[in-house]
Amino acid sequence: MRGGSVAAIMSGMNIDEERKALLHEYERLDDLQRSGLVIIQNPAGFRFSMDAVLLSEFATVRRRDKVIDLGTGTGVIPLLVWARRQPVEIVGIEILEEMADMASRSVKINDLSGKIRIVHGDLRDALDVFGAGSFDVALSNPPYIRVDQGTLSPEGHLSVAKHEVSCTLEDVVNVAARLVKPKGRVAMVHRTSRLVDLLAAMRGAHLEPKRLRLVQARAGTPPMMVLVEAAKDVKAGLEVMPTLMLYGEDGEYSKETKEIYFG
């Protein structure tokens, strides 16, 4: 699912001069279909995908919460979470300078600088930057593929986004666990082939999986994604939610998928 934008290109729209000044010549402005928000993307580079949209809807985020997105990429998760929940503060941390800059400009172009902050840095250093227990919720759409599997992309930014080049699944889970307060929540999306790894890493970091939802393209196909939300230092008890079907028999988005995308 990674690599292809699911946003509608805002072709032909009137972009005011202030917004236009925030765009590089090779970038485009995409409509997030939520609260009038837009996002800057590079058509030739990494673009957000359905995984991020599903995670932003799945995660339990309340208005009083402070939220961090680990490996924020283009900043789509902070933007969508704000549109859905309006928490007190959202921080996105991103190791690639170009991506962090793009995310920062997307925040600015939406006039959300007072609500969303993008930090250029390594998520593995987040504890030094923010301190333990600084957040109520940690989110992540991490790299899915282990370095010893698959072929690394010749494009460095794509390798970092897809493969565990700059961080492993265990790195993300361990950092997230320490960043959230006791009873704080950690929500992630990953491939179903890594589900055992994800659950084991969460329990090893004192995060108890509380909600799990499988995602499949259509009836008769195996699930390809899984959404998991865990809580820190709480009792065991997992709710397995109904599987999310992305497409109906007609090949169009299912009713629930449309609700997730368009509200």
Q: What percent of the chain has pLDDT over 70?
A: 86
* CA separation for the pair 102, 41 (Å, rounded): 8
Structure tokens that stand for 95 in this block: 């190791």
The answer to whether the CB of 202 falls within 8 A of the CB of 190 is: no
pLDDT at position 221: 95
CA distance 75 to 61: 17
Domain assignment present for residue 233? The answer is yes
Of 167, 186, 155, nearest in space to 67 by CA: 186
Residue 1 has a pLDDT of 35
Give a yes or no: residue 1 inside a domain. Answer: no
Tell me, yes or no, whether 66 lies in a domain.
yes
Terminal-to-terminal C-alpha distance of the chain: 21
Distance CA 184, CA 120 (A): 24
How much is the pLDDT for 19?
A: 76
Burial of 105 (0-12, 13-18, 19+ CB in 10 A): buried
Q: Find tokens 């265990």 and name the residue.
A: 170
Lowest mean pLDDT among 50-64, 137-151, 170-184: 137-151
In a domain, 14, yes or no: yes
Phi/psi at 96 (nearest 5 deg)?
-85, 120
Establish if 2 belongs to a structural domain. Answer: no
Residue 120 lies in a domain: yes
Q: Are 248 and 218 in contact (CB under 8 A)?
A: yes
Write the DSSP string, the chain.
-TTS--SEE-TT----HHHHTTS-TT-EEEE-SSTT-EEEE-TTS----HHHHHHHHHS---TT-EEEEET-TTTHHHHHHHHHH--SEEEEEES-HHHHHHHHHHHHHTT-TTTEEEEES-GGGHHHHH-TT-EEEEEE----B-TTSS---SSHHHHHHHBTTS--HHHHHHHHHHHEEEEEEEEEEEEGGGHHHHHHHHHHTTEEEEEEEEEESSTTS---EEEEEEEET-----EEPPPEE-B-TTSSBPHHHHHHHH-
pLDDT value at 228 more than 70: yes
pLDDT-wise least confident of 74-78, 133-137, 166-170, 190-194: 166-170
Per-residue pLDDT, 4: 39
Find which of 131-135, 151-155, 163-167 is predicted with most confidence, using mean pLDDT: 131-135
Q: Is the pLDDT of residue 5 over 90?
A: no
Counting the structural domains of the chain, the total is 1
Average pLDDT for 34-52: 88
Cβ pair 150, 99 in contact under 8 A: no
> What CATH number did the domain enclosing 44 receive?
3.40.50.150
Average pLDDT, the chain: 88
Average pLDDT for 167-190: 97
- The answer on pLDDT for 154 being more than 50 is no
Residue 167's domain comprises 8-262
Q: Give a yes or no: residue 3 inside a domain.
A: no
* Alpha carbon distance 50, 53 (integer Å): 5
